């Protein structure tokens, strides 16, 4: 299977997740390209897609939203998985008793589920380096500590590897 891992990442955390998923797919013998959503020129050349974006203010980044909406007719005919990178910190349950990863689903997932029927969607913990924030994002570094997004790398590589292997196995089954 020729798989495209298409991602949108502002500061690199999501790119790292996309790379890791691509590695798990390659381990299983799939042919994998990895491209920024903005740079994909010929999506028709791929048999399957993993599409991921960082979430900002509850939404996927513009290039990723555009990629899905623009290519929805093609994507609806191929196996597709979506992942989002976002929540920060080590708590799995928030102060209201909700699962942090469920609560952090980007606004677009219900729309995309109806539009392209992905075989799976998931949310991974992300990473934030306050020192490197640019433009309006720097407001985070001026916020009081109890209101700020916690800084650090919270990416759960075991969960990412597990998901990548699950996608690889599902693809292999379809190819058989």
Ligand X SMILES: Cc1cc2nc3c(=O)[nH]c(=O)nc-3n(C[C@H](O)[C@H](O)[C@H](O)COP(=O)(O)O)c2cc1C
164 backbone dihedrals φ, ψ, rounded to 5°: -60, -40
- Give 78 or 124: the residue with its C-beta nearer to ligand X: 124
Cβ 15 to ligand X shortest distance, Å: 6
Q: What is the dihedral of CA 121, 127, 128, 133, to 10 degrees?
A: -70
Contacts (CB under 6 A) with ligand X, residues 140-159: 140, 149
How many residues in total does the chain contain?
A: 176
| Per-residue tokens: 24 | 């798990």
Closest CA to 24 of 10, 45, 5, 41: 5
Residues 9-38 that bind ligand X (CB under 6 A): 9-14
| Binding track over 73-112 against ligand X, x by CB under 6 A | ------------xxxx---------------x--------
Among residues 3, 24, 7, the alpha carbon closest in space to that of 15 is found at: 7
Number of residues that bind ligand X (CB under 6 A): 23
Q: Toward ligand X, which CB reaches closer, 19 or 27?
A: 19
Q: Sort residue 164 into left (φ over 0), alpha (ψ -120 to 50) or beta.
A: alpha
Query: What residues between 35 and 64 interact with ligand X by CB under 6 A?
Result: 54-58
Contacts with ligand X by CB under 6 A lie at 9-14, 54-58, 85-88, 104, 126-128, 133, 137, 140, 149
């Amino acid at each position: 299977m020729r798989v495209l891992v298409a991602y949108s990442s502002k500061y690199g955390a999501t790119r790292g997740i996309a790379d890791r998923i691509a590695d798990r797919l390659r381990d299983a013998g799939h042919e994998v390209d990895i491209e920024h959503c903005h740079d994909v020129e010929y999506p028709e050349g791929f048999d399957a897609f993993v599409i991921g974006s960082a979430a900002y203010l509850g939404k996927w980044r513009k290039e990723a939203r555009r990629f899905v909406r623009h290519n929805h007719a093609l994507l609806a005919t191929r196996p597709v998985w979506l992942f989002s990178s976002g929540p920060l910190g080590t708590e799995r349950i928030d102060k209201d008793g909700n699962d942090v990863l469920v609560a952090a689903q980007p606004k677009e997932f219900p729309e995309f589920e109806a539009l392209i029927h992905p075989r799976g969607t998931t949310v991974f913990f992300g990473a934030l380096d306050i020192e490197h924030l640019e433009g309006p994002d720097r407001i985070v570094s001026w916020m009081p500590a109890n209101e700020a997004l916690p800084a650090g790398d919270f990416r759960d590589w075991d969960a990412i590897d597990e998901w990548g292997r699950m996608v690889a196995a599902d693809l292999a089954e379809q190819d058989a």
